[in-house]
Amino acid sequence: MALKAEKLKVDGYETVLTAEDSSVGLKAIIAIHNTHLGPSCGGIRLLPYRTQSEALEDVLRLSKGMSYKSSLAGLGFGGGKAVIISEVSKKTPELFARFGELLETLKGRYIAAKDMNVSTEDLMAVKTTTSHVLGIEGVPGSSGDPSPVTAVGCFEALRATWELVTGKPDLRGVTVALQGLGHVGWDYAVRIREAGGKLIVSDINEPILAKARTELRATVVDNNAIYGVECDVFAPCARGAIINPETLPRLKCRAIVGCANNQLATPAEGQTLWKKGIVYAPDYVVNAGGIINIFVEYEGYNRAKAIQKASAIYDTVKTILRRAEKEKTPPFLIADKMAEERLYG
């Protein structure tokens, strides 16, 4: 059976394409939100969505998010995203190769990369049928693991935020409560430690906690206790919606700077943080190192250049926080406003 593709008209989006090929178990949606700044780029997410509308809602939200993230990072990328509706156990190279054929029809207006449940091997299969895919670790010219670059961006965001909060850029003696010592969280923690900061950490992975005790001289706390510890900065680096009505009243920090995506459960939490005087550095600005790394691959990869570009997150965060003070508006709304100013002129 051939690939069947259909365009959906969705207000505010340039292209939304649904596609199906039951012979390989492919059911996918690609959303191109905006290509004003350049080709749209974003990961392929594979999940067993319960319904087509749930998948559509996710891809629309995520592709728009990518437009905003790339815009604020100053990149020549627009926002796009793809979702494949499948059980992880059912993915095959044939499915990804057929998905690549679908990508090819978009002639480079959407460039795919890795996201949830999509591996390097899966991207290799996509690459057999299209060249519009980036971030395949191990192939010549690849940008490799983006996490160290993302960690640089987080650290620069932390420096900028702390400077705005205290007037001093110095992180010596600053206590950071960091949840999630994974690919990004660990590197971020190392940088904090090297700058003289103190760490309180939590994770669900015991061996990494033992390593943090010895190598980072971190204080380890229970994963639920991390929200209530006395600290200067809370750094969510594990999962989303972590700032919610249950955790927010427990926070005893002056600022939040972490790499996790979608930290605010709803915009209401962003407003509450603002009212409480807790400075929230918007997640998609802090963690833009990942897309910056891919953009540098698109231009011709050079890790030094990627790190240099990610370091500019320092200036972006400062600008956002200064404008937030001046306009008496929470930083997460200022970030959106600044992204839109560049996107729509």
- What residue ranges bind ligand NAD (CB under 6 A)? 146-147, 150, 179-185, 202-205, 208, 223, 237-239, 259-261, 287, 290
DSSP string, 231-282: -SEEEE-S-SS-BSTTTGGG-B-SEE----SS-BSSHHHHHHHHHHT-EE--
Closer to ligand NAD at the Cβ: 171 or 184?
184
Closer to ligand NAD at the Cβ: 197 or 290?
290
Residue type, 103: L
> At closest approach, how far in Å is the CB of 309 from ligand NAD?
14
What tokens does 73 get?
């990072």
Q: How far is CA 90 from the centre of its chain?
A: 26
**Cα-based torsion angle of the residue sequence 187, 188, 191, 197 in order, rounded to the nearest 10 degrees:** -140
81 catalytic, yes or no?
Answer: yes
> At closest approach, how far in Å is the CB of 119 from ligand NAD?
13
Question: How does strand 26-34 pair with strand 78-85?
Answer: antiparallel
**Cα-based torsion angle of the residue sequence 289, 330, 343, 309 in order, rounded to the nearest 10 degrees:** -20
In angstroms, rounded to a whole number, what is the distance separating the alpha carbons of residues 180 and 186? 8
> At closest approach, how far in Å is the CB of 179 from ligand NAD?
5
Closer to ligand NAD at the Cβ: 8 or 204?
204
The one catalytic residue in 81, 91, 198, 309 is 81
Per the CB < 8 A criterion, the answer to whether 109 and 325 are in contact is: no
Closer to ligand NAD at the Cβ: 130 or 263?
263
Position of minimal CB gap to ligand NAD: 182
> At closest approach, how far in Å is the CB of 197 from ligand NAD?
19
**Catalytic site positions:** 81
